[in-house]
Chain A
């Protein structure tokens, strides 16, 4: 883990206007995420962690505040530039996998390698998550854990600077969940990828370098973990 910052945000806030009510999803968060860090975001539903993840991933824009990825001013980017930023730097993993049902595992990975600048081979990415032999299966033919691992393979195949994971194990049992976390930890360790994981599962915090605790749209507490454990040792 280097000391260079992947993300640097100051006073990030997000207000959603739904009908006549305003929802303050994020109320002035300051963040610094060093490159190569494995960061876990904890907090109850609606505490702002997903909003922050979407903003740093370029899916959403802050209502106010400053945000930099390395030295790119993300707030200043237009729609097309934001898309290009995601394409080049960000790998997403979601709770419900979001694989394309009409594409096989390998083709789902191809979706990303088709457009990435410096992708790894699709089969190599699948091998990384232990699914080389399932490459030609469609999502409907894979278990939930396998599907999520394909999603991880799809995310890491472009060799992104950052992996953003929103409840990656939320729909999985403990065994498969750990398996998925192992691949994330491996990407962080071996590829130097910055990994941000949102979870409700407090146990997962033990594998992080740092944990941000969210409450009411603010970062309530920051914990630093000097001795992160291996995912398989996590008590689920």
Chain B
């Protein structure tokens, strides 16, 4: 019998039940979305790594004999070692003026590789004795319309060679394929190739030599210990410091994404859950107050307190059940969309969005838990009602003049104004919940919108203030100063500046970090170090300047002395003072003047890259000329990188933005709808009285809307403050070794978030207020309240 009542209650209160379900569904769907995507991504990655034997430790060298492989294999705890050649090449794509680079990896011609295996999607591996055969990576091939049998002309190690694509594949060490120095992948400009070992040896003049090692470790072996031993072995061959998966750039980006997803799971669903719990609390509270007499009657019939409490619990749980189903469907749908988005920049052989039973169970548990928790207060109240007391009408609500009214001068306050103010004061908890709910909706929206500002600030800082060159040219191998004059001779090149860099290991107390010291000439104008506040910092005349992330990891502050070990060739060591720290968004680097760097390298440090300022009108000509210069390995256009970065932001954030505007609105709608319905049911009698007294519908509507408007307006500043905190918290959670997003909310973001939430709230409230038109004055007044 009570279950029949439950069904009817649910139907009668369907609007309110749906509004709560909407908020709960937002919680379950975001949970299923982020948790599901995170699990899918992690499981796919793990399976891919295992199946294709992704190595544990990596090291690059200038040039080492193949025999180094056996020496490394002899280290205790090393399972497999494989040496290979990795060589950058520039490609001449027919009809394309833009510079295209490829990283060519050697593979065993016999197919005997054991690490970082290539998964072939089409075609076959290169054959022995066919030096022109290569496997191209799938994303690059797709982006450039390349297929089996196509030929590309490549400039490898200074000589031009034609490559024929015989296979399309991918491998676990290039899930996220970044060209050196770039922030985001660009499949049209950068690709990965695999080439027969012998052929690449010949092409790069490295007979029986390699320049990279990968190795796997036996279970339970200390990675740090192995790395130390590997470094000792490879140091004489220009080893630039071995590193584990954690520092492997592709793996780091995948891990970074997972970390962000997990951060999302921890921040966003709880916001919805809190709001939903409160909504259940106020709606059930109101339902029980209106059903007081019925409860008394049912109890008088002999139903137990528990049966009554369970009845209202079932009401809440039914809403949760609906929300779980709807949320799961929405979560799966969004998860699939997000997974498709991931496949655009993560190169997996397969990535299926799968939600495991445990994720569903977790989502259901959260949803039912929040609804159950919200129902507790109402259940207790219903259980405690004594039948005799319950069947008598409830005592009239006691109103008092609020503090504000007593202190202020309220001469201008109309009677209806007093009605609004006192009703808010009469139900402080419910009013507070409405304010909190709306402000959380605003906070969530603000925190997500803030990521747009953040990305723009990063874009501005990184691409406009820090980089002022038009083109960056990298060389096949480090050059001396002469190369700059050569570049400046090109028509249209207005200025050329060198970028020098040295791979180093920095140590402080017991902490060690692998990084590079970068230096620019003293009169450099094409690059700058920009801190988080947008200020350009000059290099200290002596000592090092560290990026703040690096300084934090080493635990150093200005004035400390760090131990610097030069990697990759000369093995000099030096203690250097930390003369400055720059709070940068991207990467962890060290900077020094050329003079300081030369103290370490002990000679004129070589030019690794050149920054060019060019005449835009001559762009095509310069690019064509650069393409034909044998010493040029790669050409990066700042403009293109920036566009690519913007594209990524647009793709990624705009998709999310749509969801979050919808989600934030869901909260605002859920909260305001329920408040409005409760308010309307509580005040129906009073509103009808006002109509009888000669108040117009619009004036009566204002009494209803005025209260809601006051609460929503009160929620705006609170929401902005909460949003500020939430955004700050999320920005901090999203920070990784690779980059951190600046916390830089634009003023307009406060406005936009407030407007969206106020619009959602207003539409909802006005929708409910339209019921004023249907008020039956006669019927309401006949009944005693």
Contacts and interface: CB of A to CB of B under 8 A. Distances in A.
Interface in A86-116: 86-88, 90, 92, 94, 96, 98, 100-103, 107-108, 110-112, 114-116
A81 to B, nearest CB: 11
A112 B693 contact: yes
Nearest to B414: A114
B781 A83 contact: no
B399 interface: yes
A50 B779 CA distance: 11
Interface stretch (B227-235, B337-345, B479-487, B682-690): B682-690
A101 B399 contact: yes
A101 B695 CA distance: 18
Most buried by B among A83, A102, A111, A138: A102
Interface stretch (B21-29, B367-375, B415-423): B415-423
Contacts of A60: 778
Contacts of B725: none
A108 B415 contact: yes
B784 interface: yes
Interface in B286-320: none
Given A60-B778, A102-B399, A92 B692 contact: yes
A151 B399 CA distance: 18
A139 interface: yes
B398 interface: yes
B693 A92 contact: yes
B357 interface: no
Contacts of A63: none
A80 B698 CA distance: 10
Contact of B696 (A54, A83, A103, A110): A83
A114 B782 CA distance: 25
A138 B693 CA distance: 19
State the main secondary structure of chain B at its contact with A: helix
Contacts of A138: 398-400
Contacts of B778: 54, 59-60
Nearest to B784: A96
B422 A102 contact: yes
Given A54-B778, A138-B398, A103 B415 contact: yes
B419 to A, nearest CB: 5
A232 interface: no
A107 B694 contact: no
Contacts of A84: 694, 696
A223 B396 CA distance: 41
A140 interface: yes
Interface string B408-428: 000000111011001100100
Contacts of A114: 414-416
A115 B695 contact: yes
Contact of A102 (B426, B699, B781, B784): B426
A138 B685 CA distance: 17
Interface in A24-41: none
Given A96-B785, A110-B414, A83 B689 contact: no
A154 B782 CA distance: 19
A107 B400 CA distance: 13
Contacts of A100: 415, 419, 686, 689-690
Contacts of B781: 94, 96, 98
A101 B398 CA distance: 8
B397 A140 contact: yes
Contacts of A83: 691, 694-697
A88 B694 contact: yes
B73 interface: no
Contacts of A92: 692-693
A50 B778 CA distance: 10
Contact of B694 (A50, A54, A115): A115
Interface string B748-783: 000000000000000000000000000001100110
Given A59-B777, A100-B419, A103-B415, A111 B693 contact: yes
Nearest to A122: B415
Nearest to A90: B694
Contacts of B692: 59, 86, 92, 98
Nearest to A91: B693
A116 B693 CA distance: 10
Interface of B: 396-400, 414-416, 418-419, 422-423, 426, 685-686, 689-697, 699, 777-778, 781-782, 784-785
Interface of A: 50, 54, 59-60, 79-80, 83-84, 86-88, 90, 92, 94, 96, 98, 100-103, 107-108, 110-112, 114-116, 138-140, 154
Give 9 closest A-B pairs by Cβ, nearest first.
Answer: A87-B694, A110-B415, A102-B422, A102-B399, A111-B415, A86-B694, A140-B396, A96-B784, A98-B689
Given A101-B396, A114-B416, 5 more contacts: A83-B695, A103-B419, A112-B693, A115-B693, A154-B693
22 contacts: A54-B778, A60-B778, A79-B697, A83-B696, A84-B694, A84-B696, A87-B694, A88-B694, A92-B692, A92-B693, A98-B689, A100-B686, A100-B689, A100-B690, A101-B396, A102-B423, A102-B686, A114-B415, A115-B694, A139-B396, A140-B396, A140-B399
